[in-house]
Each structure stands twice: as C-alpha cells, then as structure tokens.
C-alpha cells in the first residue's frame, strides 16, 4: 500500500497556479525525488503535504486514510531549505524540546538525542547556541531534529546545503539506513547528480504541473536519443555521415554519433567493421537526469548540446 497519494491537487495564489492538478504516488520505503526549477511549485506541494497549506481542491491520502494534520503531523519529519532553529537557544535543550513536540517522552528523547549526537560527533555541542554553529553544523543539527522521532514520512529539502563532502556522505548514508528501516523519503534538490545516486523514483514539476514521473532507470531509457560514443584506432576523422548514423561531435577521445531511426546497433557496428575501422570502444550515451531536466524545462535535446560543443 502506498504511504502517500496525492490526487489532483490544486493551489492558486491570486492568478498564479502554484500547483495545478498534480497527482503522484509514493510507496512505503521509497526514496522519492521531487524536482523542478525555482518557482515550479515544489515548496507549495510540500507545504500541502505537511498541512501548512490547505489545497484549493484535490485530496491527500496518508498511510491509507485521508490526511488529517491533527493526527498525522507527528508521523512526518520535515527539513525545510530555510533554517528552522532558534538561534539563541542551547542545542541540547532545543533538540529535546522539538523531540517532545513530536510526542517523545523526555527520557526516550534524551536517549535518542545522545545516540544521534554520538553518531554525528556532536556530543560537545549540547550547551552551544545555534548561532555559534557554522552553516554545515546547523544543517547536521536540523537533520537530527527532523528524523529523531522515527517519522514514517521524511521530507528533505536541499539536505546537503552547506555540508562538506565528509558530512554529505554521512547524511547520505543515514538516508539509505532510514529507508532500509521502512521510512519513506521525499528528497527535493537542484543537484541532479545527488538524485541519480540516491533516489528510486522521480517526479519533475514545472509551472505547477507534473511533466515527468518514473523510476530513475526508466526515465533515462525513455529519454535516450540513440547517441553513441565511439573510439576508433584509425581516428575519428575517418568517419562520415551515412544512411545509418550522423556525426554529432568530434572529441579528443572519440566521436559522438546519432543512430538514425529504425537502425539497429548491429547495423551500426557492422558498418564500422565492413568499412575497415578498428573499434577501441563503443558505448551508448544515456542522458543524465541533468540532461533530462534541461530538455524538459528548456527544450534542449542532448544531441543538440553535443553539436554546440563540437
């Protein structure tokens, strides 16, 4: 059973359609990427899922029942992109206070805080104030306060902001661990390489509408453009356009060709061999999520960008 279902959700502000009839389904234990350019409607969608905004129309089904903020908020952990911490309050007291707001008793909360602080090497922070921490240290603290109460749904908006590579890996490992333990995670970011590495499934929204929905592997297959990178022992200059492929770019270490519609990989390879070429490498180029993002938002095909750098 899906943990979260969003059905035909709409939210308008004056004449702006912030979320315009979006539907999506998120399975239990899934790491789900919510992507889109600035102003696409991601934050508004998240705020409806967390009960901050009420939708103008549509419905949200959470854990098999209509979403009820009064009862379901405690099952959600939300880490917004903006810092949501009290700058003057001591870190230990603040974390304990936030954990108790989520329904944990003082003793249980204290034990969990000490465990997380030890895991993140934060034991010496207990009596520090948030304003004394660097941006990266604040981000670690905010992550801990988000997941401390073992929420069923965890929403992370740009969770790696301000983190160095070591702490980014620490957070990433904990995201995987939480998903393995059954937590469902919505991961919103502009960093497409992180999405490829972390997410199982993605949705891309633009101008308030959903324009792409699928697993990472399937989306990359759906948007491939029959592009191949070929390295030849006799050099790329020996290749010419023909009825099987078109040359898109000549690089230092090979040539990019685009196979014509209806032609097979065997035909491409056979053409090369029959024309006396010795093949050192032959690789299909699948688009990255960044390529797909740009194509869907800006309408720039991957093959065209190879032409631009030729």
* β-bridge pairing 76-79 and 153-157: parallel
81: tokens are: 């992109």
* pLDDT over threshold 80, residue 238: no
Q: Is the pLDDT of residue 232 over 90?
A: no
**Short-list 46, 36, 37, 118, CA closest to 79:** 46
Q: What percent of the chain has pLDDT over 70?
A: 96
pTM over 0.75: yes
Q: With contact defined as beta carbons under 8 Å apart, do 244 and 259 qualify?
A: yes
Distance CA 107, CA 170 (A): 26
292 closest CA partner among 229, 228, 219, 227: 219
What integer best gives the mean pLDDT of the chain? 89
Q: Is the pLDDT of residue 305 over 70?
A: no
Q: Which of 1-15, 79-93, 107-121, 137-151 has the least mean pLDDT?
A: 79-93
Task: Supply the pLDDT for residue 66.
Answer: 95
State mean pLDDT over 230-250: 85
Taking residues 94-118, what's their average pLDDT? 92
- Determine the Cα–Cα distance for residues 135 and 162; give it in Å rounded to an integer: 6
CA distances from 103 to 74, 75, 139, 140, 230 (A): 7, 10, 23, 22, 59
Identify the pLDDT of residue 309.
47
Residue 302: pLDDT band by 50, 70, 90 thresholds?
low
Judge whether residue 210 has pLDDT over 50: yes
CA–CA separation, 252 vs 228, rounded Å?
15
Residue 308 predicted with pLDDT over 70: no
Backbone angles phi, psi at 268, to 5 degrees: -65, -50
Strands 209-215 and 201-206: antiparallel
pLDDT of residue 301: 66
pLDDT given for residue 288 in this prediction: 87
Could you tell me where the beta strands, DSSP code E, fall in the chain? 2-13, 16-27, 31-35, 57-62, 65-66, 76-79, 153-157, 184-188, 201-206, 209-215, 227-232, 245-251, 254-259, 279-285
Find all residues with CB under 8 Å of 129, minimum gap 6, and list them: 87, 88, 89, 90, 91
3-class DSSP state of 300:
coil
Tokens for 105, please give them.
């008793």
Reported confidence tier of residue 304, pLDDT bands at 50, 70, 90:
low
Number of other residues whose CB lies within 10 A of the CB of residue 107: 8
Q: Which pLDDT does position 95 carry in this prediction?
A: 93
Residue 241 clears pLDDT 80, i.e. is over it: yes
> What are 77's two structure tokens?
């952990």
Nearest alpha-carbon partner for 242 in 262, 266, 259 = 259
Mean per-residue pLDDT, 177-202: 91
Share of the chain above pLDDT 90, in %: 58
**What residues contact residue 64 under an 8 Å CB cut-off, 6+ apart?**
1
Residue closest to 277 by CA, chosen among 210, 214, 309, 231: 231
Pairing of β 279-285 and β 2-13: unpaired
Tally DSSP H helices, then E strands, for the chain: 11, 14
Strands 16-27 and 2-13, how do they pair?
antiparallel
pLDDT band per the 50, 70, 90 thresholds, residue 49: very high
> CA torsion sign, 61 to 63 to 64 to 68?
negative
What's 2-221's CATH class? alpha beta
pLDDT band at 170 (very low <50, low <70, confident <90, very high): very high
- Domain coordinates of the chain in residue numbers? 2-221, 222-309
């Amino acid at each position: 059973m899906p943990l979260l279902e969003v059905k035909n959700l709409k939210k308008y502000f004056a004449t702006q359609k912030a979320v315009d009839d979006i539907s999506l389904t998120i399975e239990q234990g899934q790491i789900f990427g919510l992507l889109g350019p600035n102003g696409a409607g991601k934050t508004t969608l998240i705020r409806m899922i967390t009960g901050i905004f009420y939708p103008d129309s549509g419905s949200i089904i959470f854990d098999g029942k209509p979403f009820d903020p009064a009862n379901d908020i405690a099952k959600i952990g939300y880490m917004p992109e903006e810092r949501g911490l009290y700058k003057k309050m001591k870190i230990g007291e603040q974390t304990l206070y936030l954990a108790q707001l989520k329904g944990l008793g003082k003793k249980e909360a204290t034990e969990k805080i000490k465990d997380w602080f030890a895991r993140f090497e934060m034991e010496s922070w207990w009596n520090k104030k948030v304003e004394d921490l660097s941006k990266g240290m604040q981000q670690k603290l905010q992550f801990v306060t988000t997941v401390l109460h073992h929420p069923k749904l965890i929403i992370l908006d740009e969770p790696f902001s301000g983190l160095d590579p070591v702490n980014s890996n620490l957070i990433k490992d904990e995201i995987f661990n939480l998903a393995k333990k059954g937590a469902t995670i919505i991961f919103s970011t502009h960093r497409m390489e992180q999405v490829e590495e972390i997410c199982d499934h993605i949705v891309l929204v633009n101008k308030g509408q959903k324009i792409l929905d699928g697993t990472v592997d399937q989306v990359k297959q759906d948007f491939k453009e029959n592009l191949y990178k070929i390295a030849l022992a006799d050099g790329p200059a020996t290749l010419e356009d023909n009825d099987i492929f078109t040359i898109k770019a000549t690089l230092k270490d090979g040539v990019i060709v685009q196979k014509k519609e209806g032609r097979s990989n065997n035909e491409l390879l056979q053409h090369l061999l029959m024309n006396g070429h010795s093949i050192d490498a032959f690789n299909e180029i699948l688009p990255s999520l960044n390529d797909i993002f740009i194509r869907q938002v800006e309408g720039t095909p991957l093959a065209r960008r190879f032409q631009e750098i030729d």
